[in-house]
Copies of this chain bind each other. A is one copy, B any other.
Amino acid sequence: MTRPTLTGSPDSVPTVELDDLLESGDLELIDRWLAQAGVVQIADELSRLPREQRAVPFRLLGKDRALEVFELLDPSLQQELLEGLRDTSVRQLFEGLDPDDRARLTEEMPAKVARRLLAGLSPNERQLTATLLGYAEDSAGRLMSPEVASLRAGMSAADALNRLRRIGRSAETIYALPVTDDQRRLVGALGLRDLVLAEPTTPVGELMDTDVYSARVDADQEEVARLIREADLLALPIVDTEDRLVGIVTVDDAMEVLEEEETEDVARGGGAEPLGRPYLTTSVLQIARSRVVWLLFLIVAATLTVNVLQLFEETLNRVVTLALFIPLIIGTGGNTGAQAATTVTRALAVGEVRFDDLGIVVLREARVGLLLGAMLGLLTLGPAWVFAGREIGIVVSLTLLAVCTLAAFVGAFLPLVARRVGVDPAVMSAPFITTLVDASGLIIYFLIARTVLAL
């Protein structure tokens, strides 16, 4: 799937790819490629190159485009790129970044490199970065930019526009304009749209909305980002404990936080830790490391199934046919459990369900499981009967009914409990639920078998 329908010059890119050009080593061709490609595409291509090849095309970009591309890169790649560039060019680049982006970068950098970079900044810029670094990790203080353009209620719309023309260049955004009193306390906010559309003489105090969202510097970044998305805000003012305006978080920074969180949830949902960097730049060892802890945990849990089966070895010895249905039964249980867990985890993530709803959700999922189990049980009765005789057909059929109900119940219960005790609900993933349901499914299977077959 290419982008045939996207038009405009940033997309009318050549079909040759950057890595092929780098192989050829023809700098002029690379230069021409870079001139024709959009910044998003350049960033994409850089992310796909091996580490040592990234510096060359990056150095060929003009200063402004280099900064644009740099800001689009993953933080881990930004860091590697900085380490690879010579001192003076690093400083230029660093000075041009927004303070909040700079802080995020510094945090993930070895102390030595960070010190070297901070040394290159003007006192004003350095102080901004340091202030940011004072706030706790994952707090709104780290995400916000302190370069906020604020207004006073007494100004006229024309005064406000003049003020913006003076101070607006260094502000993170001027689309959302917090309004403060003379103690810098937040009293309202105004969109640039309303300011531009207003009669020039109208005072800001009349234009502003006094019923505005804000968040404290120590608020959780993810909650702040969700609020921005749910309320469709362009930016959210950040205040200290005394309600004084200290910064602003913009929608694009919020989206990045949410995407990172989403990637984490997806990885855990598949039974692995997030890689934290683009896939193609991650080594085989790093990928294996992100999965091994989970896999070890799951295989230890799976030894439970060996013990359960050993308990019923005598039954198995007498009716080996029972073994034939083991994968089908635990597989179906696992799938039903995974479905319930995925649905409930997602509903929790987007706020459609809370822990208070435990009773309703668990009961509802158990009913869904019963319904699905009854259907699957009825459908398999015939084929299993023909294949393995009436008794075993009945055993398989009844087991599916019971296992599906149990699996859906467990799949709904565990994510809710995880959220309650402060664990990421995505950890209660398909692999986790499957392993857990396997052992109990086997017990149910053999108990039903013993009863029906009168063993």
A interface with B by C-beta (< 8 Å): 1, 3, 5-11, 38-40, 44, 47-48, 71-72, 161, 164-165, 168-169, 173-175, 186, 192-193, 196-198, 210-216, 218-220, 223-224, 227, 229-232, 234, 239, 243, 251-252, 255, 259, 262-263, 265-267, 269-272, 275, 278-280, 284-285, 287-288, 291-292, 294-296, 298-299, 302-303, 305-306, 309-310, 313, 316-317, 320-321, 323-328, 330-332, 334-336, 338-339, 341-347, 350-353, 357, 360-361, 364-365, 367-368, 371-372, 375-376, 379-380, 383, 387, 419, 422, 430-431, 434-435, 438-439, 442
* CB closest chain-B residue, reference A224: B6
- The answer to whether B193 and A9 touch across the interface, beta carbons within 8 angstroms, is no
- The answer to whether B324 and A310 touch across the interface, beta carbons within 8 angstroms, is yes
Q: Which residues of chain B are near A438, meaning CB under 8 Å?
A: 327, 331
- The answer to whether B7 and A431 touch across the interface, beta carbons within 8 angstroms, is no
- The answer to whether B341 and A219 touch across the interface, beta carbons within 8 angstroms, is no
* CB closest chain-B residue, reference A47: B352
* CB closest chain-B residue, reference A165: B197
- The answer to whether B435 and A331 touch across the interface, beta carbons within 8 angstroms, is yes
A301, B375: Cα distance in complex, Å: 17
Q: Which residues of chain B are near A365, meaning CB under 8 Å?
A: 287
Contact (A223, B6) CB under 8 Å given A327-B442, A346-B266:
yes
A336, B294: Cα distance in complex, Å: 10
Q: Which residues of chain B are near A291, meaning CB under 8 Å?
A: 336, 339, 368, 372
* CB closest chain-B residue, reference A196: B164
Q: Which residues of chain B are near A210, meaning CB under 8 Å?
A: 9
* CB closest chain-B residue, reference A250: B232
A182, B212: Cα distance in complex, Å: 41
* CB closest chain-B residue, reference A3: B223
Q: Which residues of chain B are near A344, meaning CB under 8 Å?
A: 279
- The answer to whether A197 and B168 touch across the interface, beta carbons within 8 angstroms, is yes
- The answer to whether A352 and B280 touch across the interface, beta carbons within 8 angstroms, is yes
Contact (A72, B334) CB under 8 Å given A269-B266, A309-B324:
no
A1, B5: Cα distance in complex, Å: 44
* CB closest chain-B residue, reference A376: B299
- The answer to whether B280 and A353 touch across the interface, beta carbons within 8 angstroms, is yes
Most chain B CB neighbours (cut-off 10 Å) among A6, A271, A335, A439? A335
- The answer to whether A325 and B343 touch across the interface, beta carbons within 8 angstroms, is no
A263, B164: Cα distance in complex, Å: 40
CB of A199, distance to nearest CB on chain B (Å): 8
CB of A364, distance to nearest CB on chain B (Å): 6
Q: List 10 A-B contacts (CB under 8 A).
A: A6-B214, A38-B231, A72-B231, A164-B196, A175-B234, A192-B192, A232-B252, A255-B255, A272-B339, A288-B372
* CB closest chain-B residue, reference A384: B306
Contact of A430 among B198, B220, B270 (CB under 8 A): B270
Q: Which residues of chain B are near A193, meaning CB under 8 Å?
A: 168, 173-175, 192
Q: Which residues of chain B are near A262, meaning CB under 8 Å?
A: 262
Q: Which residues of chain B are near A287, meaning CB under 8 Å?
A: 343, 364-365, 368
Contact (A10, B288) CB under 8 Å given A266-B269, A380-B299, A431-B334:
no
A313, B1: Cα distance in complex, Å: 47
Contact (A326, B328) CB under 8 Å given A7-B215, A211-B9:
no
- The answer to whether A1 and B164 touch across the interface, beta carbons within 8 angstroms, is no
Contact (A196, B196) CB under 8 Å given A267-B342, A291-B372:
yes
A-B interface, 3 closest residue pairs, ranked by CB to CB distance from nearest: A270-B342, A305-B327, A5-B219
Q: Which residues of chain B are near A316, meaning CB under 8 Å?
A: 320, 323
CB of A250, distance to nearest CB on chain B (Å): 9
